[in-house]
Amino acid sequence: LFSSSFSMRMLSHAEGLFKICTSRKRSRQRHNRANCKPSPSTMSATDSYGPNVAVLPLDDQMKFVMTRIRDEATSLQDFQFYADRIVRFVVEQGLSHVPYTDKTVLTPTKSKYQGKDYDPAEQLCAVSIVRAGESMEAAVRQCCLGIRFGKILIQRDEETAMPHLFYSKLPQDIHRRTVLLLDPMLATGGSAMKAIEVLIENGVAESAIVFLNIISCPEGIKNLTEKYPKVKIVTAEVDGHLNEKRYIIPGVGDFGDRYFGTDLFDYQQPRPSNN
């Protein structure tokens, strides 16, 4: 009897200590949640540039990918491989900005699942700004079955940096679609703004344009959002500034040249010949 009574008292005492510890732990958790701040690696810079600009948080994996495409020593094959990876990431994130409808499906367990639905073949159109924007087309095709594509060719005057429209070919019903505008670099914003101008002239609503971008800079974001505040911008990283030649710094150089393997550029020193 004594042993049983003693055991009961010990159990009651242990339960009391457990309740006290649990209460203190919950109090500390509430305090931490109230005072904690998100780490820089998980913060979005959206608030810095406006509600329609999404700067994607990059984990270590995506930082590694960005490091590889920025490295001047990266080979053509590696640049293409890692560029395709970050482009796919941006496209996947950008698709969260297209319109969806509610949809209920029946699973193989005969249970209902409340989800979302959209039809990329009927609702979307991707428009690439030739030539660098074409490097993003494969990722869009992988994510959006049956999507239609348009092309806009804009040449930037290297002296004035002013854009000039040379060619455009767009789906006839583009005015009723959400448009994914593709260009990996946003420097001055001139080419992107010219492309948006063409889209709007063809009946596309400004709010129906989602500009998918890999690297941008504050100057380009400012110029574009001031002229077209309803356009949504999705970018992987925002770099520091433009240099005197209007290249993004630190940047990647000319994305199109590096992706498609064309000639060297004036910001690189020619490599010594082996002959």
Out of 160, 173, 176, 262, pick the active-site residue.
Answer: 160
Establish whether 33 is a catalytic residue: no
β-strands 241-242, 101-106: how paired?
unpaired
Look at residues 199, 141, 139, 196 and name the one whose alpha carbon lies nearest to residue 163: 196
In whole angstroms, give the CA distance from residue 195 to residue 163. Answer: 9
Out of 84, 183, 239, 254, pick the active-site residue.
Answer: 254
In whole angstroms, give the CA distance from residue 150 to residue 204. Answer: 13
Burial environment of residue 227 by CB neighbours within 10 A (0 to 12, 13 to 18, 19 or more): middle
- The vertex-172 CA angle with 167 and 173, nearest 5°, equals 130
SS (H, E, C) 98-160: CCCEEEEEECCCCCEEEEEECCHHHHEEEEEEECHHHHHHHHHHHHCCCCEEEEEEEEECCCC
Establish whether 254 is a catalytic residue: yes
Strands (E), 8-91: 53-55
Establish whether 266 is a catalytic residue: no
In whole angstroms, give the CA distance from residue 193 to residue 163. Answer: 9
In whole angstroms, give the CA distance from residue 217 to residue 243. Answer: 11
**Backbone dihedral angles phi then psi of residue 153, each to the nearest 5 degrees:** -105, 120
- The vertex-110 CA angle with 104 and 115, nearest 5°, equals 20
Establish whether 262 is a catalytic residue: no
| Catalytically active residues, by annotation | 156, 160, 254, 257
